[in-house]
Copies of this chain bind each other. A is one copy, B any other.
Amino acid sequence: MRMAELSSRTGVPVPTIKYYLREGLLPPGERTSPNQALYDESHVRRLKMVRALVEVGKLSIAAVRDVLDAVDAPEKIPFNVLGEMQDRLGPIHPEGSGELWEQADTQVRELLRRRGWLADPDCPPARSLVAALATLAELGRTDLIDLVEVYADAAELVAKVDVTKVVRDQGMDDVVEGAVIGTVLGETMIIALRRLAHQDATARLYGVDRSGGDDE
């Protein structure tokens, strides 16, 4: 198909498609003349995925390119591709120092060991967790640190079902693509649902119809 049809099939405007081509997010089409190229179903599929990562996942163009490079790696060993993808998805949290950071680091290592999770305590997600726990301690909210166990229970439950869903019998390309989509869109869904559930829990506790203030 020509670019105009690729655009109408995906809802992505032609200038945006050209931009993605220049940025290497979309492989070039098969050139038929100096000014024309043909695209196929693989372009439709990839373009929709780029769109999802940018628009819904709010990933930067650079992050999308990095993630797609991991997806396109010729040797697809699921554990490695997942790790590569996670490394490239971001966010990266800076390491801090001092007692509170050491405590948080120990806490994350112990959590992984206690739960028997086959996960790398030095990978970006583990470092993000350390940063969040250390920051809670710096804020004096050590009471909120206990929540990590509840979150880990929820994560364990969710991740098992995620992997079951993503691994289907349609080849490794499909699994890897599903892992990217499932990670990014799943995060959007979980964050949205938690905020909605916060509305519910707060409304039940305080009521929603109050019109007066109660500043303390």
Contact B185 A135 (CB under 8 A): yes
Residue among B185, B187, B204 making CB contact with A144, cutoff 8 Å: B185
| Known A-B contacts A79-B207, A192-B129, A216-B172; A93 and B148 likewise in contact (beta carbons under 8 Å) | no
- CB of A27 within 8 A of chain B? no
Q: How far is the CA of A79 from the CA of B208 in the complex (A)?
A: 6
Instruction: Check if A119 sits within 8 Å of B187, measured CB to CB.
Output: no
A183 at the interface (CB under 8 A from B): yes
CB distance from A126 to the nearest CB of B (A): 6
Which of A18-26, A29-37, A69-77 is near enough to bind chain B?
A69-77
Also in contact, A159 and B198, with CB within 8 A (given A131-B188, A185-B136, A190-B154): yes
- Residue A201, interface by CB 8 Å: yes
A134 to B161, CA, bound (A): 20
The interface residues of chain B lying within 8 Å CB-to-CB of A167 are 205
Q: A157-B154, A199-B120 are in contact. Are A213 and B132 (CB under 8 A)?
A: no
Q: Tell me whether A157 and B152 are in contact in the complex, defined as CB-CB below 8 angstroms, given that A139-B49, A172-B214, A195-B183 are known contacts.
A: no
29 contacts between A and B (CB under 8 A): A11-B96, A52-B138, A52-B139, A55-B131, A55-B135, A58-B91, A78-B205, A78-B206, A79-B207, A82-B198, A83-B199, A86-B198, A117-B199, A118-B200, A139-B181, A144-B166, A151-B190, A154-B157, A154-B190, A155-B193, A155-B196, A155-B197, A158-B197, A160-B201, A162-B194, A163-B198, A167-B205, A187-B194, A190-B191
Q: 6 nearest interchain CB pairs? A: A75-B213, A159-B197, A155-B193, A118-B203, A125-B195, A154-B154
